[in-house]
Structure 1
Amino acid sequence: MSKYGLIGMLFVAICLGVLTFYYQSKYTITQQSLNNAQAVTKNALSAISLMHDISKVTHDEKQQLSNEGEEKVVYIKEAVKSDDCANRVVAVAATDSLRLLENRVRAGKPTETKP
């Protein structure tokens, strides 16, 4: 083999080594970026799933409370059906006061206490 052939092969080998190193580092960076993107996506899907589960549980509990409230209304109506007090008209001021109290309790505001 000639001197120029040996130099040419050496040059090609060096070029291949440099290209291999360059593309290997590019591959590594790309792989890390892909892994990071997959981790972010996985975390986002987990968060969405968690929020869905919380929403479902909350909805189910509200539905259960609503059903229990309806059962209590039926029970109370049945219990006071024969009581003459249940058939009396309640003063408008009293009902307005009770509704105001109910709204405050639902809103989580403290109620005013009167001595």
Structure 2
Amino acid sequence: MKLRYKLVIVAFVVTVIGSFIWSAGHYYSKYQHEKERADEAVRNAESATAITRNVLQSLQIINTVIEANQHAKQQIALESQRTEEDIKVAVADDDCASRHVPAAAADRLRKYANSLRTDSGGTVASKPDY
């Protein structure tokens, strides 16, 4: 064979090997890029999961507090009803219970009740509920 054909064959083999090396480098770079994207997606998903878990835990705590407050309100209402019934029974035969309370005494009691509400941070009732 002539030297010319040998050089062409060697050039062809070198070109094929070079294209394999370039191809391997190119696809390895793409692989690295996609791996980084996938790792970032996993980190984002884990972060979102942690945030969702924290939100759900906060909601459970809030629901527990709301339940406890509702239960306390129910207990207070029941105790208030029992107290009201006890007072009605206690003063049922008393002629003093059917008399009107003097206006000055009622105003003084109202002011006292308002001061208690103000001190406890509640709302102040400016008018009686009758």
* 2:65 corresponding residue in structure 1: 54
- State the Cα distance separating 1:87 from its structure 2 match: 2.0
Q: 1:92 aligns with which of 78, 88, 103?
A: 103
Q: Secondary structure at the match of 2:35?
A: helix
Q: Secondary structure at the match of 1:2?
A: helix
- State the Cα distance separating 1:77 from its structure 2 match: 0.7
TM-score relative to the length of structure 1: 0.84
- State the Cα distance separating 1:98 from its structure 2 match: 0.9
* 2:52 corresponding residue in structure 1: 41
* 1:6 corresponding residue in structure 2: 17
- State the Cα distance separating 1:73 from its structure 2 match: 0.5
TM-score relative to the length of structure 2: 0.76
Question: Larger deviation: 19-28 or 82-91?
Answer: 82-91
**Bigger CA radius of gyration:** 2
Quick one: distance in 2 between partners of 1:53 and 1:103?
31
Give aligned pairs, total: 109
Equivalent AA in structure 2 for residue 81 of structure 1: A
Equivalent AA in structure 1 for residue 72 of structure 2: E
* 1:113 corresponding residue in structure 2: none
* 2:112 corresponding residue in structure 1: 101
Report percent identity of matched pairs. Answer: 25
Equivalent AA in structure 2 for residue 82 of structure 1: D
1:28-85 Cα shifts (integer Å, max 9, x gaps): 1121112112211221122122112211210111111011101110011101111222
Matched, 1:22 2:33: yes
Cα RMSD over matched residues? 1.6
Higher relative contact order (CA closer than 8 Å, sequence separation 6+): 2
